[in-house]
Amino acid sequence: MLQVENVLKSYDKNKVVRGVSFHVQKGESFGLLGPNGAGKSTTIGMISGIITPDQGEIKVDGLSIKKNALDIKRKIGVVPQEIALYPTLSAKENLVFWGKMYGLSRNEAVKRATEVLEYVGLGERAKEKIETFSGGMKRRVNIGASLMHKPELLVMDEPTVGIDPQSRNHILETVKELNKNGMTIIYTSHYMEEVEFLCNRIGIIDKGKMIALGTKKDLFQRVAEGTIIKISVSQLDESFLNIVKEIDEVGKVIPHPEDLTIEIFVTNHQKVVGEIITLAVQAKVDVQSLEVNEPNLESLFLSLTGRSLRD
């Protein structure tokens, strides 16, 4: 369905996307995960045809974005990060307008707008102005606008930013159902739980580069030291950190001076926890709390970059 091959994009001397490549199969739900400023939105912009890559190739259904931009735009629906709607028009008027912009006739657009509003759970508020809606409701209409022309590929750029948990769940369930019904999804977020919930395959992007790509299982296996032991201490002792690093089952050790915590990546936490406590006592480091986290995308990102996804 989608092929992104070695795309590059720079603004002045700032290289925003540096040779990103990935493929998305028809009917797949692909997650693009990365912190703010990683280059996700620029990649999405290039797939949507509004940003021209400096180098590389993007193809949708075999059509090159460089030569067939308008044809590709008919096939894809894009949910922008911002609520790109007209606040003084009603929800239905907005959807009808966007539908017509995708080539629907007036009758088709009106009919489809009613269906879409029901689908996103706002059928009863069709005639109300967008400006009167809550953030979550606006987000749902924002998604609805990109579903008007029944796109084959739905590209969603952080569609849940700044909304309440209830609306967020509604959106995630809607996206899941769309994918179940055969729509190909590309979902970008810096919330790893969302990507984990929705996507079969995931690409992790950081500083404009794809640093990991594969199924969830593949990615977790790549993190040999998948479990994180997080301990809270009274002070950060350099000698204690060095001793912990020497344990065989321990991978990376990342101290966080700002909140006096240490994250320790381990392969066998049951074996190591006791040893770490003992070493702490010997080093006269007061351990105030300890938690064990199973491997997830957050830990993967942390192990790859040494930074948190939300840094």
Partner 1 sequence: MKKSLLIAWKDFTIRIKDRKGFITMLLTPLLLTAILGFALNSVMGGEGGFPETKVGIYISDDDKLAENFVVDVLPTFSFVTIKESKSEEELKDLLTEGKVDVGVSFPEEWSSGSNQGALKNVTILEKPDQRTKTTLIESMLKSYSEQVQIHAVTTRTVMQDISASVAASTDEINIQQVASEIQLELQSITGGELKQVSIGEKNVGSMQYYAAAMAVMFVMFNMTLGAKSLLQERTTETLKRLSMTPTGKESILFGKFLGTLWFACIQFMVFFGATSTFFKVDWGSNLYQVITVGFCYSFAVSGLSMTIAAFVKEEKTTDVISSIGIQILAILGGSMLPIYLFPEGLKTIASLTPNKWALTSFLDIMSGTTWSELFPAISILLSLGCITLALGTWKLKTN
| Contact footprint for partner 1 (CB under 8 A) | 48-50, 70-71, 73-74, 78, 80-89, 93, 97-98, 100-103, 145
Question: Helices 238-245 and 269-282 sit at what angle, rounded to 10 degrees?
Answer: 150
Using an 8 Å Cβ cutoff, are 78 and 26 in contact?
A: no
Query: In 3D, which of 67, 57, 71 has the Cα closest to residue 2?
Result: 57
Task: Rank residues 15 and 100 by Cβ distance to partner 1 and give the closer one.
Answer: 100
Rounded to the nearest whole angstrom, what is the least distance from the CB of residue 282 to partner 1 in the complex? 57
Task: Rank residues 155 and 172 by Cβ distance to partner 1 and give the closer one.
Answer: 155
Task: Rank residues 130 and 233 by Cβ distance to partner 1 and give the closer one.
Answer: 130
Task: Rank residues 79 and 264 by Cβ distance to partner 1 and give the closer one.
Answer: 79
Integer-rounded Cα radius of gyration of the chain: 23
Cβ atoms within 10 Å, residue 136: 18
Helix (H, G, I), strand (E, B) or coil at 25: coil
Cα-based angle 228, 234, 237 (whole degrees, multiple of 5): 75
Rounded to the nearest whole angstrom, what is the least distance from the CB of residue 86 to partner 1 in the complex? 6
Buried b (16+ CB within 10 A) or exposed e, 234-273: eeebeebbebbeebebbbebbbeeeeebbbbbbeebeebb
Rounded to the nearest whole angstrom, what is the least distance from the CB of residue 71 to partner 1 in the complex? 8
Sign of the torsion formed by the C-alpha atoms of 199, 205, 209 and 215: negative
Task: Rank residues 93 and 249 by Cβ distance to partner 1 and give the closer one.
Answer: 93
Contacts 24+ apart (CB under 8 A), 37-41: 38/190, 38/205, 38/206, 38/207, 38/208, 39/9, 39/205, 39/207, 39/208, 39/209, 40/157, 40/158, 40/188, 40/190, 40/205, 41/81, 41/157, 41/158, 41/188
Query: In 3D, which of 225, 285, 233, 282 has the Cα closest to residue 255?
Result: 233
Task: Rank residues 14 and 70 by Cβ distance to partner 1 and give the closer one.
Answer: 70
Task: Rank residues 60 and 231 by Cβ distance to partner 1 and give the closer one.
Answer: 60
Rounded to the nearest whole angstrom, what is the least distance from the CB of residue 139 to partner 1 in the complex? 13
Rounded to the nearest whole angstrom, what is the least distance from the CB of residue 77 to partner 1 in the complex? 9
Rounded to the nearest whole angstrom, what is the least distance from the CB of residue 84 to partner 1 in the complex? 4
Query: In 3D, which of 32, 30, 29 has the Cα closest to residue 180?
Result: 29
Task: Rank residues 74 and 176 by Cβ distance to partner 1 and give the closer one.
Answer: 74
Rounded to the nearest whole angstrom, what is the least distance from the CB of residue 289 to partner 1 in the complex? 43
Rounded to the nearest whole angstrom, what is the least distance from the CB of residue 108 to partner 1 in the complex? 14
